[in-house]
Amino acid sequence: MKSRLKIYVLIFCGSMLMLSCKSTAIDTITKPLAKHVILIGSDGFGAYAFKNGKFPNLRKMMDKGSYSLEARSVLPSSSAVNWASMIMGSPPELHGFTEWGSKTPEIPSRVIGKGGIYPSLFSLLETQVPNEKKGVIYTWGGIGYLFEKNMVDMDVNGASDQETMETALEFITNEKPVFTFVHFSEPDNTGHAIGHDIQEYYAAAENIDRLIGKIIAGLEAANMMEDTVILFSSDHGGVNKGHGGKTLVEMEIPWIIYGSNIQAKGKLNSTIITYDTAATIAHILGLETPEFWRGKNITEVFENEK
């Protein structure tokens, strides 16, 4: 009787252990925190601009979401190298795009994906959620070399930031894509032509805020905002009429996240590098990130207040 009882006890304990392991495995599956993510990038929009610029829509996102004005670009603090890092989850040492106008990697990419370049967010989406729509709408043509064109449903180089906004909003509200990257070329154009940290620069940056307000209003009208996360950032700031150097006015960029399941934490304490953007978006969409990415999910954004 005792030996039979021991057998029953062992069987029972084994069954409970198996159920426990099964439950734990289910619980650890990452579930998407939003149905849609929109990454809005504004070229040359330095974090320093928030000291003097009037940005009601971005301020609304900051107040009701989370943000850092101390996030940093990679070096050099220029366009292609940073936009590539932002969506490829890695520094230039790995993806290979190293200059302002890189069209192909100057350093051999550590990994080449099915899209023919270093795998970006679009590769992850294509592999893990292939039936979901995704798109890129951009004003600066240089963006067109930095993503897998065979993996997107929308690829439009807008003639102006206004046109880019209108095309993006139509695509988002009509097609309901899982991920959209929207790139505006201002205030970088004004920074190069006239200068940074002057009235004309702030006017251009404030117009970007207006366009973001239009996107938010369009999402709200389409009843999509409840299931959407918007992440706003930039590639670099600037000084005088240029950028690319090692000063903080060139390197510090805004990083603002707002929407579904994003905590209203306000200013973040986390250290953020631009390639953390891709990893954070991947987390929101429930994607597994590859080993060769170096970006990290900014977990502080999702932590409940204790």
Provide the pLDDT for residue 73: 98
Provide the pLDDT for residue 104: 98
Per-residue pLDDT reduced to its tens digit, 166-182: 999 999 999 999 999 99
Low-confidence residues in the chain, pLDDT < 50:
1-29, 305-306
Provide the pLDDT for residue 303: 84
Domain 33-302 grouped into CATH 3.40.720.10: yes
Please say whether the dihedral angle defined by the alpha carbons of residues 145, 146, 149 and 152, taken in this order, is positive or negative: negative
H-assigned helices in 28-160: 56-64, 79-88, 92-95, 121-128
Query: What is the H or E stretch that residue 250 is in?
Result: helix 248-251
Per-residue pLDDT reduced to its tens digit, 128-148: 999 999 999 999 999 999 999
| CB 298, CB 268: distance < 8 Å | yes
Provide the pLDDT for residue 213: 98
> Rounded mean pLDDT of the chain?
92
